[in-house]
């Protein structure tokens, strides 16, 4: 078993869920101890966050299985083993809930509104500031004098570090009394003890020189330096402090978070210079992005932005859930790179027989999503990275690009390299790479069950015939029964109605729905049918281009066969189509040259009858032109945009080339936009495109 964390909770039984929750509780407790109590984490924060996310996902799906020792209820780690004196906090020290996406931030604000029963458009003012990566510390001032400093510990009981903070210049022994507001009898200032990046590097260099322990990161260095039995060790370490809140207080001389933080600054304790106030979600997200942009240049490490409801009256009403305030949220920066372990390397066999190696990973959060698999592309790529099972790798995921392995961190050379299979794992046929090709392919062809089922899956997929309810599982099930030898068999399934109804998991209604969905495709779109056959190099766009020219499948086949036989006129006719090159002509010829393909084709056209392929086009300014859509489209999907282009007699292409006439660019457009500028191609926005479409009536 490689990847238990990938199972969708809705597809899990209770026993499996309870089991996994138990395992997660144990794992998370272990890593909490390593991180919080021992300052020696073994896994990256992104991997830790993935475990916590998984735990939350299961707890949401199975609320009655939430354990008494659930990690979602615990803060930090208990300090019983610490050599420092223990301190019980008068007011608990909490953690913060995490958000990783804009949507999760919007949901946070919506939740606050719902809780307070505010109208959906009522303003909710929030403060926003950087989330410093240090360790929290509570400073208790009585009549303005520092009487105790304590770490968070498990939130209830922390460690006494009063002597240790005595040498931290940012922490005054006495609050200033000249601010106009006299410090209350009791006031606990809470904030972050941290080490600046430059100080951290210098400390590590000095430690190394002395042959002492070096620290993994500034957070660990700060924690390790503060939590010292011998306070003189702390004194020699360059620690700093920024306040971000307060705990027990005999009086709170302000009615907003913002005003109280200004007061704390006026008492002489530093607060973040990036603290600001936001009127709405748009401002919160804008501040988040601005802080993210400054991140690398800040003198200290941060890992996100913290939002807090500004009104203290509202904070009081909102209160707390398990271990975090309802009025606060940490919006973390997505780790666009993250480290994890390759737990297995599996080989997937595709519809063309291509063997694709897939790395099964220990789940890790990258760019806000949990990643459990990564494609390793091909034999050469595995060789280049030198990836073996058990290696630590760096994953990268930028924007919505699929994750990639960018580096292998494991360098011991004594373990054997991964051996790429020379036989297909599905059918044991020989697997070879052709001259000059990087892809290794199974030579099993028709005997390879993987290739055959993949072809069927492709045939019914969204972009091809799009048969609703005929998913991968059903195809695999019927294929194993010998019911699906080729695409035409799909249209003969109706003869097996009673057999299907008799099978576990099928009911009269579900079978009838499936059969109706199949019947609905008896007169399929010819281009989708052609694409569904999976002829090499004939993608969805090429299939349409071919049929626009030849109107019916038999007409296309006749030309392709003539071209294959050496008929120059037929070849020229095919090559005259925009987007059709010699590779496509050859692939078509090869396809119709193979007797088995012809049998499949004839069989299929005996079951279905696609109408003539005639695309109605409207008179328009872009007729006959090639258009490229790039960036985010806001009023329509990519598919709709392509359909609009087609309706206007234009061709929608995937990449910008000298043949491109027009580029429609939305927000986030990148390299294609740049290329268009280089080539001097006209660029318009989505609104201008909508005008063109409307004008064509
Ligand atoms: N790698 C590991 O093995 C491992 C193990 C445990 C925890 N962790 C890391 O620690 C995190 C969990 O720790 P946590 O419970 O302390 O939660 P947290 O660090 O995600 O957030 C809460 C803490 O943020 C701090 N903070 C910094 N700036 C703040 C601000 N402006 N306002 C309010 N608080 C601010 C406070 O100290 C607060 O206690 C995980 O998400 C993970 O990143 C890693
Ligand atoms: Zn095979």
Determine whether the shortest distance from the Cβ of 274 to ligand 1 is under 6 A.
Answer: no
How far apart CA 341 and CA 346 sit, in angstroms, is 14
Q: Would the annotation count 567 as a binding residue?
A: no
Determine whether the shortest distance from the Cβ of 95 to ligand 1 is under 6 A.
Answer: yes
Mean pLDDT of 387-405: 84
Q: What per-residue confidence (pLDDT) applies to 37? A: 87
Q: What per-residue confidence (pLDDT) applies to 1? A: 29
Q: What percent of the chain has pLDDT over 70?
A: 98
Residue 265 confidence (pLDDT) above 50: yes
Q: What per-residue confidence (pLDDT) applies to 433? A: 92
Residue 59 confidence (pLDDT) above 60: yes
Determine whether the shortest distance from the Cβ of 646 to ligand 1 is under 6 A.
Answer: no
Residue 174 confidence (pLDDT) above 50: yes
Q: What per-residue confidence (pLDDT) applies to 52? A: 92
- How close is the Cα of 570 to the center of ligand 1, in Å? 68
Q: What per-residue confidence (pLDDT) applies to 321? A: 85
Residues with Cβ < 8 Å from 272, sequence gap 6 or more? 129, 130, 132, 242, 244
Q: What per-residue confidence (pLDDT) applies to 295? A: 87
How far apart CA 307 and CA 326 sit, in angstroms, is 11
From 37, 39, 95, the mutation candidate for ligand 1 (largest count of ligand atoms within 8 A of CB) is 95
Residue 323: exposure state from Cβ atoms within 10 A (0-12, 13-18, ≥19): buried
With cut-offs at 50, 70 and 90, classify the pLDDT of residue 400.
low
Residue 354 gets which letter from DSSP? B
Identical fold between 4-65 and 448-519: no
With cut-offs at 50, 70 and 90, classify the pLDDT of residue 683.
very high
Q: What per-residue confidence (pLDDT) applies to 434? A: 85
Q: What per-residue confidence (pLDDT) applies to 51? A: 92
Neighbours of 675 (CB within 10 A): 17
Helices of type H across 99-174 = 102-115, 162-165
Residues with Cβ < 8 Å from 226, sequence gap 6 or more? 135, 137, 151, 161, 164, 165, 193, 234, 237, 239
Q: What per-residue confidence (pLDDT) applies to 3? A: 35
Residue 140 confidence (pLDDT) above 50: yes
Residue 5 confidence (pLDDT) above 80: no
- How close is the Cα of 72 to the center of ligand 2, in Å? 46
Residue 282 confidence (pLDDT) above 80: yes
Q: Would the annotation count 96 as a binding residue?
A: yes
Evaluated on CA atoms 378, 383, 385, 388, the torsion sign reads positive
Q: What per-residue confidence (pLDDT) applies to 398? A: 63
Q: Would the annotation count 49 as a binding residue?
A: yes
**Structure tokens that stand for 561 in this block:** 């066969």
Q: Would the annotation count 159 as a binding residue?
A: no
How far apart CA 105 and CA 389 sit, in angstroms, is 37
Fold of domain 86-332:
D-amino Acid Aminotransferase; Chain A, domain 1 (3.30.470)
Q: What per-residue confidence (pLDDT) applies to 407? A: 92
**Structure tokens that stand for 669 in this block:** 């457009």
- How close is the Cα of 329 to the center of ligand 1, in Å? 11
Architecture of domain 337-433: Beta Barrel (2.40)
Closest residue CA from atom 14 of ligand 1: 95
**Under 8 Å between Cβ of 633 and 668:** no
**Structure tokens that stand for 369 in this block:** 């999503």
Q: What percent of the chain has pLDDT over 90?
A: 69
Determine whether the shortest distance from the Cβ of 542 to ligand 1 is under 6 A.
Answer: no
| 284 vs 82, higher pLDDT | 284
Architecture of domain 448-519: Orthogonal Bundle (1.10)
* ipTM for the complex shown: 0.95
Q: Give the right CATH number for 526-607 from 3.40.50.620, 3.40.50.10190, 1.10.3720.10, 1.10.150.20.
A: 1.10.150.20
- How close is the Cα of 418 to the center of ligand 2, in Å? 20
- Domain regions of the chain by residue span: 4-65, 86-332, 337-433, 448-519, 526-607, 626-695
Using one digit for the tens of pLDDT, what is the confidence trace for 576-591?
Answer: 887 788 999 999 999 9
User: Which atom of ligand 1 sits closest to the CA of residue 45?
Assistant: 1
Class of domain 626-695: alpha beta
Lowest-confidence region among 175-184, 285-294, 573-582: 573-582
With cut-offs at 50, 70 and 90, classify the pLDDT of residue 422.
very high
User: Which atom of ligand 1 sits closest to the CA of residue 152?
Assistant: 39
Using one digit for the tens of pLDDT, what is the confidence trace for 69-127?
Answer: 899 988 999 888 889 999 999 999 999 999 989 999 999 999 999 999 999 889 999 99
How far apart CA 325 and CA 238 sit, in angstroms, is 31
Determine whether the shortest distance from the Cβ of 257 to ligand 1 is under 6 A.
Answer: no
Q: What per-residue confidence (pLDDT) applies to 399? A: 56
pTM above 0.90, yes or no: no
| 259 vs 41, higher pLDDT | 259
Q: What per-residue confidence (pLDDT) applies to 378? A: 93
Query: What mean pLDDT, rounded, does the chain reach?
Result: 91
| 166 vs 334, higher pLDDT | 166
Q: What amino acid positions are annotated as catalytic residues?
A: 131
Closest residue CA from atom 22 of ligand 1: 95
Q: What per-residue confidence (pLDDT) applies to 635? A: 82
Q: How far is residue 260 CA from its own chain's centroid?
A: 37
- How close is the Cα of 446 to the center of ligand 2, in Å? 9
Residues with Cβ < 8 Å from 442, sequence gap 6 or more? 349, 353, 355, 424, 426, 427, 429, 430, 431, 448, 450, 451
Q: Would the annotation count 194 as a binding residue?
A: no
Determine whether the shortest distance from the Cβ of 332 to ligand 1 is under 6 A.
Answer: no
Q: What per-residue confidence (pLDDT) applies to 2? A: 30
Lowest-confidence region among 131-145, 187-201, 451-465, 657-671: 657-671
Residue 449 confidence (pLDDT) above 50: yes
- How close is the Cα of 660 to the center of ligand 2, in Å? 40
- Among the bound ligands, name the one nearest to the CA of residue 349: 2
Q: What per-residue confidence (pLDDT) applies to 86? A: 95
Mean pLDDT of 134-154: 97
Closest residue CA from atom 39 of ligand 1: 95
Determine whether the shortest distance from the Cβ of 379 to ligand 1 is under 6 A.
Answer: no
Q: Would the annotation count 102 as a binding residue?
A: no
Determine whether the shortest distance from the Cβ of 31 to ligand 1 is under 6 A.
Answer: yes
Q: Would the annotation count 495 as a binding residue?
A: no
- How close is the Cα of 28 to the center of ligand 1, in Å? 14
Q: Give the right CATH number for 4-65 from 1.10.10.10, 1.10.287.610, 3.40.710.10, 3.30.9.10.
A: 1.10.287.610
| 77 vs 2, higher pLDDT | 77
Determine whether the shortest distance from the Cβ of 244 to ligand 1 is under 6 A.
Answer: yes
Which H or E element spans position 691?
Answer: helix 686-695
Q: Max alpha carbon distance in the chain (Å)?
A: 99
Distances (CA, A) of 293 to 285, 661, 666: 12, 35, 22
How far apart CA 449 and CA 431 sit, in angstroms, is 14
Q: What per-residue confidence (pLDDT) applies to 436? A: 84
Closest residue CA from atom 31 of ligand 1: 131
């Amino acid at each position: 078993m490689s990847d238990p964390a990938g199972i969708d909770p809705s597809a899990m039984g209770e026993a499996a869920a309870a089991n996994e929750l138990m395992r997660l509780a144990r794992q998370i407790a272990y890593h909490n101890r390593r991180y919080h109590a021992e300052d020696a984490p073994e896994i990256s924060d992104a991997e830790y966050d993935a475990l916590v996310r998984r735990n939350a996902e299961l707890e949401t799906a199975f609320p009655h299985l939430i354990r008494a020792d659930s990690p979602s209820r615990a803060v930090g780690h208990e300090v019983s083993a610490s050599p420092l004196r223990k301190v019980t906090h008068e007011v608990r020290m909490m953690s913060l809930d995490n958000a990783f996406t804009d949507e999760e931030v919007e949901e946070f604000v919506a939740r606050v509104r719902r809780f307070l029963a505010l109208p959906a458009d009522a303003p909710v003012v929030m403060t926003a500031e950087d989330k410093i990566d240090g360790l929290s510390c509570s400073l208790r001032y009585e009549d303005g004098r520092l009487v105790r400093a304590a770490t968070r510990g498990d939130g209830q009981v922390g460690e006494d570090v009063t002597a240790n903070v005595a040498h931290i210049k940012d922490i005054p022994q006495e609050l200033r009394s000249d601010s106009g507001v006299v410090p209350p009898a009791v006031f606990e200032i809470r904030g972050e003890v941290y080490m600046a990046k430059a100080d951290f590097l210098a400390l590590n260099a000095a430690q190394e020189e002395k042959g002492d322990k070096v620290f993994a990161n500034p957070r660990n260095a700060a924690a390790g330096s503060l939590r010292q039995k011998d306070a003189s060790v702390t004194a020699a370490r360059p620690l700093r402090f920024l306040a971000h809140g307060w705990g027990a207080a005999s009086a709170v001389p302000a009615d907003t978070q913002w005003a109280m933080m200004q007061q704390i600054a006026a008492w002489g304790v530093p607060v973040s210079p990036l603290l600001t106030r936001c009127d709405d979600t748009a401002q919160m997200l804008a501040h988040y992005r601005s802080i993210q942009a400054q991140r690398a240049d800040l003198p200290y490490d941060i890992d996100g932005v913290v939002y807090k409801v500004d009104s203290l009256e509202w904070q009081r009403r909102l209160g707390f859930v398990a271990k975090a305030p309802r009025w606060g949220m940490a919006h973390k920066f997505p780790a666009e790179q993250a480290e994890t372990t390759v737990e297995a390397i599996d080989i997937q066999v595709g519809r063309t027989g291509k063997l694709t190696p897939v790395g099964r990973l220990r789940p890790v959060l990258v760019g806000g999503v949990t990643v459990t698999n990564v494609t390793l592309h091909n034999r050469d790529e595995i060789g280049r990275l030198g990836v073996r099972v058990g290696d630590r790798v760096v994953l990268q995921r930028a924007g919505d690009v699929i994750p990639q392995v960018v580096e292998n961190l494991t360098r011991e050379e004594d373990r054997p390299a991964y051996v790429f299979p020379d036989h297909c794992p599905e059918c044991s046929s020989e697997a070879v790479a052709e001259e000059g090709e990087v892809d290794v392919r199974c030579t099993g062809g028709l005997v390879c069950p993987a290739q055959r089922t993949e072809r069927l899956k492709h045939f019914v997929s969204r972009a091809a015939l799009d048969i609703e309810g005929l998913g991968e599982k059903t195809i695999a099930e019927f294929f194993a029964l010998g019911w699906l030898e080729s695409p035409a068999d799909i249209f003969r399934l109706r003869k097996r109605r009673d057999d299907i109804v008799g099978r576990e998991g099928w009911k009269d209604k579900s079978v009838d729905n499936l059969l109706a969905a199949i019947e609905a495709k008896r007169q399929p779109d010819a281009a989708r049918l052609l694409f569904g056959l999976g002829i090499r190099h004939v993608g969805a766009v090429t299939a349409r281009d071919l049929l626009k020219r030849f109107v019916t499948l038999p007409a296309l086949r006749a030309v392709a066969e003539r071209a294959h036989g050496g008929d120059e006129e037929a070849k020229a006719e095919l090559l005259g189509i925009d987007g059709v090159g010699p590779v496509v002509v050859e692939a078509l010829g090869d396809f119709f040259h193979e007797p088995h393909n012809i049998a499949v084709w004839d069989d299929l056209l005996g079951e279905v009858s696609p109408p003539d392929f005639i695309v109605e086009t409207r008179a328009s300014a872009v007729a006959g032109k090639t258009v490229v859509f790039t960036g985010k489209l806001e009023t329509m999907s990519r598919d709709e945009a392509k359909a609009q282009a087609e309706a206007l007699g234009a061709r929608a292409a995937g990449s910008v080339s000298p043949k491109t006439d027009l580029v429609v660019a939305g927000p986030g457009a990148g390299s294609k936009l740049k290329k268009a500028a280089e080539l001097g191609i006209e660029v318009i926005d989505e609104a201008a495109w909508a005008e063109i479409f409307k004008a064509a009536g």
